[in-house]
Amino acid sequence: MAKRLMVTGCGGFVAGGIVHQSDKHWELHALTRGAPLLEKDNVVWHSFDLLDTAELRRVFREVAPDAVIHAAAAADIDFCQANRELAERVNTGVARELADLCGAAGAKLVSMSTDNVYDGEKGRYTEVDPTSPINWYGETKVMAEQAVSAMDAGWVVVRVSLVMGLPMLGAGNSFLSRMLPVLERGETLGVPDMEIRSPLDIVTAARALLELADNDYSGYLQLAGNDILNRFEMVRRLAVELGYPAERVEPKDPVNIPDRAPRPRDASLCNDKAKRVLKTPMRGLGDGLALILATQKEGPA
């Protein structure tokens, strides 16, 4: 019998990738606020708002999952900065509720966090480095981490670096899908060159999260690509790989972007532990893009 996996946020970018990459090893229960996005033999959809705690508890009891991947979040950093109470309810409150439900039921909880839990002064952060967020999004995710790590056992807090790719389901929050229409129109794209990241492709991210839901690992783990580079370098390399002129991508000072919340300067993550713990290989920028494009052609797993 297939094991039961519950995945939150399945109208979003990363969770959409998880649904797309899942196989019949799992009976996957996809939670979303919107309509089902994919018909697949092993996927059951549940449409409701995660802030409806009574409904979340009812669905959890009905599904009785062996594991939960919590990917839902208010992930727009500027939105969170301007809407603090709602951001805390979504990012912290739901994680706390899932930790309580999973702890009581003995289900494994794999909870997604972010590189924005760090202040960006050090770079190449490891799992043991102290958190010190400089924006409210990061603050809410630290509080979520604390709630999940208070479970007696069976939890993983996964700090994920900047995820790149094309949405596998729905629109999703993909910077790559937002930049392509600009380049296709022949326009110039302005990208901050002061922010250093370790981008991870969506296919690898989804596969690693599915692996963590199924293995015995518990604790903190950081998922990141092998390359560390600033956003401008990253986007320019991606543009060239996709056949666009390099000069279409220009550096842009984020100070001139209105109402922009603070970002860590260097939030790159060390993926050494992930390479030891996981069978899923971590990839560099070029290999990650090649995997994204190949997976798009292949369709769902």
Give the model's pLDDT for residue 224. 98
**CA angle, 22 then 43 then 224, to 5°:** 30
- pLDDT, tens digit only, all 301 positions of the chain: 789 999 999 999 999 999 999 988 999 999 999 888 888 889 999 999 999 999 999 999 999 999 999 999 999 999 999 999 999 999 999 999 999 999 999 999 999 999 999 999 999 999 999 999 999 999 999 999 999 999 999 999 999 999 998 887 766 667 888 888 899 999 999 998 989 999 999 999 999 999 999 999 999 999 999 999 999 999 999 999 999 999 999 998 877 677 889 999 999 999 999 999 999 999 999 999 999 989 986 767 6
Give the model's pLDDT for residue 259. 83
Are 191 and 252 in contact, with CB atoms under 8 Å apart?
Answer: yes
Give the model's pLDDT for residue 107. 98
- CA-to-CA distance for 71 and 90, rounded, in angstroms? 11
Give the model's pLDDT for residue 150. 97
**Rg of the chain, C-alpha, whole Å:** 18
Give the model's pLDDT for residue 2. 87
Q: Shortest CA distance to 60 belongs to which of 1, 113, 2, 7?
A: 7
- CA-to-CA distance for 15 and 213, rounded, in angstroms? 13
Helix (H, G, I), strand (E, B) or coil at 25: coil
- CA-to-CA distance for 189 and 267, rounded, in angstroms? 22
**Surface-to-core class of residue 24, CB atoms within 10 Å of its CB (0-12 exposed, 13-18 middle, 19+ buried):** exposed
Give the model's pLDDT for residue 77. 95
Which pair of tokens denotes residue 17? 């990738």
- CA-to-CA distance for 225 and 197, rounded, in angstroms? 9
Domains and CATH numbers, the chain: 3-298 (3.40.50.720)
